């Protein structure tokens, strides 16, 4: 462990011999070619020793790869549990709204679109901001913004207290979806819907029973699906990481015999160049 190295007592260091007492190294009798070859062989030997060290570490019972694999397995189990919990469909918020008429008072889809609605006697005006954004070769229309109108009076009086604010926010959001759809239909020359009612902006979701907007999108289901998608991406990432650790450990263990044979060949070649016995090689081990 690291803390053992930190508290380990330093070993006494013997004083260096005086310069005049140091024996002079014998002059090398090897040619420049042999010196360059020897340097390359020593570099190869260091690399092979590192491979052997890694392989022996991977083959040991208590190796870091096994620890990481176990931790990743625990994380995968946690994500799988969360995924099962988030996949369960819980009832969404819903309360009926009356089929009050939604009338289109004004619809202009020119350079700056304008949409004005009368919703159960309440006037809502939407318009585009006067700033076009050019992106590449396409012109992106700005979003419509609500200039006037309040969805609070559209909430039925019998709506439970805890649902009044969520329903008001949903109706305001669904109205924006509606006017955007009306603008796009006008730009494409499509037929506009008729007999729109307030109930069309808050129909029950067939999956969770919560409110859906004008296009049939349920925010509760969309949020649940987004959470599921995030967990699935995380689960896939953890599986890939764990499989990578397993594969790396397997390659290190499988390559250990070959690394030892390569070390033996390198040591033999070094002895030929130096004319000395091969250096001490690590024991075969596992």
- How do residues 186-234 score in pLDDT, each as one tens digit? 999 999 998 999 999 999 999 999 999 999 999 999 999 999 999 999 9
Looking at per-residue pLDDT, the higher value among 162 and 61 belongs to 162
Q: 235-238: long-range contacts (C-beta < 8 A, 24 or more apart)?
A: 235/76, 235/79, 235/80, 235/83, 238/72, 238/75, 238/76, 238/79
Calculate the alpha carbon distances from 205 to 90, 226, 237, 281 in Å.
12, 17, 32, 72
Overall residue count recorded for the chain in this entry: 286
- C-alpha 134/C-alpha 223 separation (Å) is 31
Query: In the predicted model, is pLDDT for residue 1 greater than 50?
Result: no
State the CB neighbour count (10 A cutoff) for residue 274.
15
Enter the tokens of residue 154.
Answer: 């559209």
Query: In the predicted model, is pLDDT for residue 169 greater than 90?
Result: yes
pLDDT at 45: 93
- C-alpha 240/C-alpha 54 separation (Å) is 22
pTM summary value? 0.70
Given a contact cutoff of 8 angstroms between Cβ atoms, the answer to whether 52 and 44 are in contact is no
**Residue 219 backbone dihedrals phi, psi, to 5 degrees:** -65, -35
Mean pLDDT computed over 118-129: 95
Query: In the predicted model, is pLDDT for residue 14 greater than 60?
Result: no
- In this prediction, residue 109 has a pLDDT band, given cuts at 50, 70 and 90, of confident
- C-alpha 85/C-alpha 15 separation (Å) is 68
Q: Strand, coil or helix: what is 8?
A: coil
Q: With b meaning 16 or more CB within 10 Å and e meaning fewer, what string describes 39-53?
A: eebeebbeebbebbe
- C-alpha 202/C-alpha 213 separation (Å) is 6
Looking at per-residue pLDDT, the higher value among 35 and 162 belongs to 162
Query: In the predicted model, is pLDDT for residue 282 greater than 90?
Result: no
- C-alpha 221/C-alpha 89 separation (Å) is 8
**Residue 104 backbone dihedrals phi, psi, to 5 degrees:** -90, 110
- How do residues 43-85 score in pLDDT, each as one tens digit? 999 999 999 999 999 999 889 999 999 999 999 999 999 999 9
Pairing of strands 114-119, 203-204: unpaired
Query: In the predicted model, is pLDDT for residue 124 greater than 90?
Result: yes
């Amino acid at each position: 462990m690291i803390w053992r190295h930190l508290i380990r007592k330093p070993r006494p260091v013997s004083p260096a011999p005086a310069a005049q007492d140091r024996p002079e190294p014998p002059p090398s009798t090897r040619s420049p070619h042999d010196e360059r070859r020897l340097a390359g062989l020593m570099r190869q030997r260091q690399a092979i020793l590192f491979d052997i060290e890694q392989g022996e570490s991977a083959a040991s019972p208590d190796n870091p790869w096994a620890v990481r694999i176990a931790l990743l397995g625990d994380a995968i189990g946690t994500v799988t549990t969360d995924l099962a919990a988030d996949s369960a469909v819980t009832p969404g918020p819903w309360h009926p709204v009356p089929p009050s008429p939604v009338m289109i008072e004004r619809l202009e889809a020119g350079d700056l679109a304008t949409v004005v609605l009368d919703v159960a006697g309440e006037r809502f005006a939407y318009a585009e901001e006067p700033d076009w954004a050019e992106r590449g070769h396409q012109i992106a229309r700005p979003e419509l913004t609500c200039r006037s109108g309040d969805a609070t009076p559209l909430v039925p009086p019998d709506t439970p207290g805890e649902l009044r604010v969520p329903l008001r926010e949903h109706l305001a959001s669904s109205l924006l979806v509606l006017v955007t759809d009306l603008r796009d239909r006008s730009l494409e020359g499509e037929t506009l819907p008729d007999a729109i009612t307030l109930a069309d902006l808050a129909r029950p979701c067939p999956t969770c029973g919560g409110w859906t907007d004008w296009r049939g999108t349920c925010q509760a289901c969309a949020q649940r699906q987004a959470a599921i998608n995030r967990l699935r991406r995380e689960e896939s990432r953890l599986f890939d990481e764990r499989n990578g650790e397993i594969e790396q450990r397997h390659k290190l263990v499988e390559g250990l015999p070959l690394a030892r044979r390569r070390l033996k060949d390198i040591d033999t070649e070094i002895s030929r160049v130096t004319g000395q016995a091969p250096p001490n090689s690590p024991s075969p081990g596992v």
